């Protein structure tokens, strides 16, 4: 009989069951199963089995069940981050000058991206070009109690570069929004100026939101720029590999 098994054995059996089934079905079987599924040992084992643990995670993960689900779901929530689908998924597009364009790496007077998985970038023109995405966290599977109570880290990253023969400007603005799209937290970079005759290296910019309070339901990511020489065409800042991740 299952109830006669040592808890360590029962935990190993339960750990082989998909996590959603554990929470929605197995937890309702009996008090013993509920206590095991609500405890840390089962989720520590599942994290170990799927490679989600390490010295840092073991020290910092206060709620192992949430840690497991966040690790399992971790992915880039920005769609079409590198221009492989033209401007699809990007809204509120501002096409200053000749507008946004997608080019193949490394591009004229440019450099290859640090990751071989990135093949394209977006490039701006001689007046301000901006584009944005709004991420619906609930639609991505991050439930309200998790966002309000655990408040997992929201990590934002972007990459930008100029071309060697032209100067340019770059800006990043990310907002955490409520159900009614009120701004609950915001990170806005300074206007970053890249001089003419620069080295065309790709630079990563990042920001981590934490302890942002309850009520966050959306993330609004916006970036953009222009060139500083006002040359017709696409001599402005180049951006690619944008990302927003929810992390344990």
Domains observed in the chain: 2-71 (1.20.1280.50), 91-246 (2.60.120.260)
The set of residues, in sequence order, having a beta carbon less than 8 Å from that of 177 and lying 6+ positions away, is 134, 183, 184, 216, 217, 218, 219, 220
Q: What is the pLDDT of residue 241?
A: 98
Q: What is the pLDDT of residue 55?
A: 44
pLDDT tens, residue by residue, 182-217: 999 999 999 999 999 999 999 999 999 999 999 999
How far apart, in whole angstroms, are the C-alpha atoms of residue 176 and residue 161? 26
Residue 56 clears pLDDT 60, i.e. is over it: no
Residue 133 clears pLDDT 90, i.e. is over it: yes
Please choose, from the candidates 77, 25, 28, 21, the residue with its C-alpha nearest in 3D space to the C-alpha of residue 46: 21
Residue 64 clears pLDDT 60, i.e. is over it: yes
Residue 146 clears pLDDT 70, i.e. is over it: yes
* DSSP states of 161-190: E--TT--EEEEEEEEEE-TT--EEEEEE--
Predicted TM-score (pTM) of the model is 0.85
Q: If you average pLDDT over residues 163-173, what whole number do you get? A: 97
Q: If you average pLDDT over residues 158-174, what whole number do you get? A: 97
In the chain, where do the E strands start and end?
A: 91-95, 101-104, 120-123, 129-136, 153-161, 168-177, 183-188, 192-194, 203-209, 218-227, 238-247
> What is the total residue count of the chain?
248
Higher pLDDT, 130 or 10: 130
pLDDT averaged over every residue in the chain: 92
How far apart, in whole angstroms, are the C-alpha atoms of residue 156 and residue 195? 25
């Amino acid at each position: 009989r299952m109830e006669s098994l040592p808890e360590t054995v029962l935990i190993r059996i339960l750990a082989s069951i998909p996590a959603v089934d554990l929470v929605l079905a197995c937890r309702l079987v009996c008090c013993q199963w509920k206590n095991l599924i609500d405890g840390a040992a089962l989720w520590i084992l599942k994290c170990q089995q799927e490679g989600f643990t390490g010295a840092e995670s073991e020290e910092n993960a206060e709620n192992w069940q949430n840690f497991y689900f966040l690790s399992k779901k971790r992915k880039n929530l920005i769609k079409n981050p590198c221009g492989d689908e033209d401007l699809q998924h990007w809204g509120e597009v501002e096409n200053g000058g000749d507008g946004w364009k997608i080019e193949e790496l490394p591009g004229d007077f440019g450099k290859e991206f640090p990751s071989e998985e990135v093949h394209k970038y977006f490039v701006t023109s001689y007046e301000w070009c901006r584009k944005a995405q709004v991420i619906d966290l609930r639609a991505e599977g991050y439930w309200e109690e998790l966002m309000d109570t655990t408040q997992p880290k929201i990590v934002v990253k972007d990459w930008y570069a100029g071309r060697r023969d032209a100067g340019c400007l770059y800006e990043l603005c990310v907002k955490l929004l409520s159900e009614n799209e009120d701004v609950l937290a915001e990170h806005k970079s300074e206007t970053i100026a890249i001089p003419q005759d620069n080295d065309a290296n790709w630079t990563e910019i990042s920001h981590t939101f934490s302890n942002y309070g309850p009520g966050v339901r959306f993330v609004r990511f916006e970036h953009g720029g222009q060139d500083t020489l006002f040359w017709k065409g696409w001599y402005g800042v180049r951006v690619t590999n944008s990302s927003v991740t929810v992390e344990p």
